Amino acid sequence: MRLVVTGGAGFIGSNLVKFLLQKKINILNFDALKYSSNIKSLNIEKQNKYYQFIKGNICDEKKFLQLLRKFKPNGVINLAAESHVDRSIDNPAPFLKTNIFGTYSLLKASNTYLSNLDKKEKKFFKFIHVSTDEVYGDLPLNSKPANELSSFNPSSPYAASKASSDHLVKAWARTYNLPVIITNCSNNYGPYQHPEKFIPHTIISILKNKKIPIYGNGKQIRDWIHVRDHSDAIFKIFKKGKIGETYNIGASNQKRNLEIAKIIFSVLKTFNKKKNNKNFFHNVNFVKDRPGHDKRYAIDGNKIKKLGWIPKVNFEQGIEETVKWYLENKNWWSKILKNKYKLERIGKIK
């Protein structure tokens, strides 16, 4: 099997690439290496015969079509995206360009590539578009989790750009018969996540003896899944998913932001017993809430379970492993902070 993974140097992408390489799948990683990408996150030996990397932007349709024709993949998994909500509020333009026009370029190039394949190759080829639960928008506290038939109601420029890309993918399926599958996943966590995201930002703030920034009252609810489970789900969908369908990917871990911060604080205390006298609320800084901040996301993942997939990583275990990883890999995140951003200016929470 030969797969192109776009955005394969990002958080989810790098974890997915390593997951697929363990299965001896030939991977071409196509990534623009923007601020949230880190090629060192892959830790792949240069002589790995199953892996190759090409730097490029998904808006470059010509370059992407050329690599498709040369690499001859059985499928494309699109993870390339601008993804941080705070940044989309400050400057929506890059999100519209990458998430909408970039997806358009991939679809157009993939459709051209597919048109020149023989019947057998066409039958196997799939375009997997990885999206987010944020397209469904803010869910009332007493409502059921969003399922694949839930209407789109995006709140942020980021969510709107991803909703737009989802619609484009569906249109290419209907109009051009491109064999597509869309996935909408809940919040991911795990190793190699950029320090601006909520969980690593919380961990690093505590490690640097800085107060944990919490938007509003911290009661916003997110549905969390370990990135390893997400990678497993994407692969399962590629193998067994039905063309033209959408699959929600979630692990049914709805938790408030304040609760997550408490859990992380508690885990770090067990690793650093000398500071057990610290009080959690003395280390929290409640900051002005984000404009249009959604109160709750929740995913109904029953449909994908029919494919034989279930999440395997227990949330408490996953958080402990994640905290331990950031403790043991200070050089990785310190370099990002030193070279690109100061911690105090990093966006505070998805």
Given pLDDT bands bounded at 50, 70 and 90, which one contains residue 273?
low
Handedness of CA 80, 307, 166, 106 (dihedral sign): positive
Mean pLDDT for all residues in the chain: 92
Catalytic residue among 31, 61, 133, 166: 133
Q: Of the candidates 216, 190, 215, which has an alpha carbon nearest to the alpha carbon of residue 203? A: 190
Count the Cβ atoms, other than its own, within 10 Å of residue 277: 6
Contacts for 28 with CB less than 8 Å, ≥ 6 apart: 2, 3, 4, 5, 52, 53, 54, 67, 71, 73
* Residue 215 designated active-site: no
| Candidates 31, 61, 82, 134; catalytic one | 134
Q: Record the pTM.
A: 0.93
pLDDT at site 344: 39
What tens digit of pLDDT does each residue of 62-110 get?
A: 999 999 999 999 999 999 999 889 899 999 999 999 999 999 999 999 9
- CATH classification number, 2-194+224-254+296-313, choose in 3.40.50.620, 3.30.70.270, 3.10.129.10, 3.40.50.720: 3.40.50.720
Record the tokens describing residue 172, joined without a space: 């290419």
Tens-place pLDDT, residues 196-245: 999 999 999 999 989 999 999 999 999 999 999 999 999 999 999 999 99
Q: Is position 148 annotated as part of the catalytic site?
A: no
Is 158 noted as a catalytic residue in this protein?
yes
- Predicted confidence (pLDDT) at residue 339 exceeds the cutoff of 90: no
**Of 51, 113, 136, 158, which is the active-site residue?**
158
pLDDT digits (tens, 9 = 90+) for 279-322: 888 889 999 999 999 999 999 999 999 999 999 999 999 999 99
Q: Which two tokens stand for residue 22?
A: 């363990």
Please give the average per-residue pLDDT across 138-162, as a whole number: 97
